[in-house]
Every structure is written in C-alpha cells, then in structure tokens.
C-alpha cells in the first residue's frame, strides 16, 4: 500500500512538472488561430530573418508605430548589448481620431507615448491582438482622472476606434514574433507610438501646421521627438522616466526599463 501511495505521488509530481515546463510558446500554439498562424507564417518570417542575417527567433523585439504615416515597425536583437535592427515595416490599415495623445474615454484617439505589451489575446474579436498598457503613469496624470479610456490593442481585422489595426496576415506575423520574444524571456516588449515619422519632412510640415492651433500637443511632440532622435542615432532605447507633471524624462546612461509606473522624484 505504501508503495502504491508513493507511486501515485511521484506520478502526480511528474504531471505537475510537465505542466510547469510547458512554455508560453507551446501554450499559445494550443489556440487554433495561433497554431494556424505558426504553420502558415513561420517559414516566411524565418526567411525575413535570414535575409537580414539575424538568428531566428529574436530574443527581443521593439515595436514602433507612426500614426500619420500609417506604419508599424518591428526591430529585433538577440543580445542586450546589441543595437536593434529593423526587420520589417507593416502598413497600419486604418486610423481614427487625429494627431495628439489620447486623453479620455471615447475620444477615438490612438495613444501617443511609450508603452509595452501587457496582453496576448489569441481569441480576439479582431483575429489576434496584443494589448498595450494605456493608460501609463503619464496618461494617468494628464488624462481624464475618472475615465481615461483603455483596452488599446494592436490587432487584426483592419477596424479601429483608437487602436492600431493591421490586416489579419500582418497581425499574425507580429503576434508570432511577440510570442517568441516573450517565450525567450522578454516580459516587457516596448511599444513607442509617435504622431509622425519625425524624419519625414512632409509629415513634419503637417505636424507643424497642427501645432499652430494646438500649443500643448506641440510641447508634447517636442518631448517625444527626443526619444525618437536618440533611437535613430544609436538604435538603442533610452530609459524613459515620468515626472510628477506627467512629462517624459530620458536617461540615456542606463539600460532601458519598462515605464508602467516609473517616475522621477523631481518635478522638472
């Protein structure tokens, strides 16, 4: 009897161990849309990596999106000490709202600022979706205190009311790369959303015209551009802090960290 009890306990331990060892990747593949995406798209993605001479899958990815230019970029690297390399640029297929940050529920605005992926939804109403952590600490200070809004995603189906929509084919590729990065230990996948591609002269001209009647947004965009310029120069992410007024403050001497609730002690 004692041997039977020991045997049962060992079997239960083995089963629990197997469950604990199931990776995030394996778990995601159990969902039909994700499993099908891997079967249909993974070889294509591997070829993209091979063209760039980058080992697949990437251990870290960085997502950068530009509202007016309707583009979303995927940057990748495999070591913390490496610079990020641009893998692919996707077309954002729809836009709601106008230039400027999201400040309240129902304003139809796509957020602008510095975020990270905080949700993987394999059963999304919009095919597949990746949630971003809006409102972040800055948004909570500067947005409507009672109803700042939320549920902002990068998703498929090419429909939007304040999100970042891609085609179903494109979100499958982005989702696969995000799953692989998280599976490799990247718990915070950064997502930076800018009003325009600051290096595009036509986009900057448009933003300049908007700034003439929107002084607050103009100050906000100048602040965002500092992080954009740093990344353009070094292909590395600055540390983004948030002061007590909700302004982004940058530290370029430390490794980049998630900014969900990070703030500076100073009010500068």
Q: Please give the full DSSP string across 99-165, using - where no structure is assigned.
A: SS---STTS-PPP-EEEEEEEEETT-TTSSEEEE--S-HHHHHHS-SS-----EEEESTT--SSSEE
- Tell me the HSE value of 125 on the side-chain side, using a 13 A CA sphere: 4
Sign of CA dihedral 203, 213, 226, 246: negative
Asked if residue 15 has pLDDT above 60, the reply is no
pLDDT digits (tens, 9 = 90+) for 67-126: 999 999 999 999 999 999 999 999 999 888 899 999 999 999 999 999 999 999 999 999
Confidence of residue 214 (pLDDT cuts 50, 70, 90): confident
By residue count, the chain amounts to 268
> In degrees rounded to 5, what are phi and psi of residue 35?
-60, -45
Q: What distances in angstroms separate CA 158 from CA 20, 94, 194, one per listed residue?
A: 36, 6, 20
Bridge partners for 88 per DSSP: 74
pLDDT score for 47 = 97
**CA-CA distance, 127 to 131, in Å (whole number)?**
13
Tokens of 164: 């970042």
Among 174-183, 210-219, 227-236, the range scoring the smallest mean pLDDT is 210-219
**Average pLDDT, integer, range 258-264:** 45
Asked if residue 265 has pLDDT above 50, the reply is no
pLDDT score for 216 = 86
**Average pLDDT, integer, range 137-154:** 95
pLDDT score for 170 = 98
Structural domains of the chain, ranges and CATH numbers in brackets: 22-206 (2.40.440.10)
Confidence of residue 240 (pLDDT cuts 50, 70, 90): very high
**CA-CA distance, 235 to 231, in Å (whole number)?**
5
Report pTM.
0.86
- Tell me the HSE value of 17 on the side-chain side, using a 13 A CA sphere: 6
Angle made by CA atoms 98, 241, 58, in degrees to the nearest 5: 80
**Average pLDDT, integer, range 144-173:** 95
Q: What element of type H or E holds 209?
A: helix 201-211
For residues 235 and 8, which has the higher predicted lDDT (pLDDT)? 235
pLDDT score for 250 = 93
Query: Nearest to residue 34, comparing CAs of 117, 119, 121?
Result: 121
> In degrees rounded to 5, what are phi and psi of residue 58?
-70, 135
pLDDT score for 76 = 98
Q: What element of type H or E holds 36?
A: helix 32-52
pLDDT score for 7 = 52
C-alpha R_g of the chain: 21
Confidence of residue 213 (pLDDT cuts 50, 70, 90): confident
Confidence of residue 252 (pLDDT cuts 50, 70, 90): low
With H, G, I as helix, E, B as strand and everything else as coil, classify residue 236: coil
pLDDT score for 242 = 95
pLDDT score for 137 = 96
């Amino acid at each position: 009897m004692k041997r039977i009890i020991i045997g049962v306990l060992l079997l239960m331990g083995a089963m629990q161990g197997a469950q604990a060892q199931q990776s995030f990747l394996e778990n995601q593949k159990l969902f039909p849309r994700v499993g099908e995406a891997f079967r249909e798209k993974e070889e294509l993605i591997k070829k993209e990596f091979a063209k760039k001479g980058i080992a697949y899958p990437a251990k870290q990815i960085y997502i950068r999106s530009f509202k007016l230019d309707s583009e979303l970029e995927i940057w990748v690297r495999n070591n913390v000490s490496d610079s990020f390399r641009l893998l692919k640029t996707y077309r954002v297929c729809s836009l709601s709202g106008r230039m400027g940050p999201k400040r309240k529920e129902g304003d139809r605005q796509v957020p602008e600022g510095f975020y990270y992926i905080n949700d993987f939804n394999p059963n999304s109403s919009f095919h597949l979706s990746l949630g971003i952590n809006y409102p972040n600490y800055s948004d909570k200070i500067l947005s409507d205190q009672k109803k700042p809004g939320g549920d902002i995603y990068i998703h498929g189906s090419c429909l939007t009311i304040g999100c970042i929509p891609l085609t179903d084919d494109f979100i499958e590729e982005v989702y696969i790369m995000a799953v692989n990065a998280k599976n490799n230990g990247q718990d915070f996948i950064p997502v930076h959303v800018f009003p325009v591609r600051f290096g595009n002269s036509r986009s900057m001209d448009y933003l300049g015209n908007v700034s003439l009647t929107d002084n607050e947004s103009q100050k906000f965009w100048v602040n965002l551009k500092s992080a954009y310029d740093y990344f353009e120069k070094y292909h590395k992410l600055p540390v983004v802090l948030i002061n007590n007024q909700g302004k982004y403050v940058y530290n370029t001497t430390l490794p980049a960290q998630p900014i969900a609730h990070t703030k500076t002690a100073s009010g500068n």
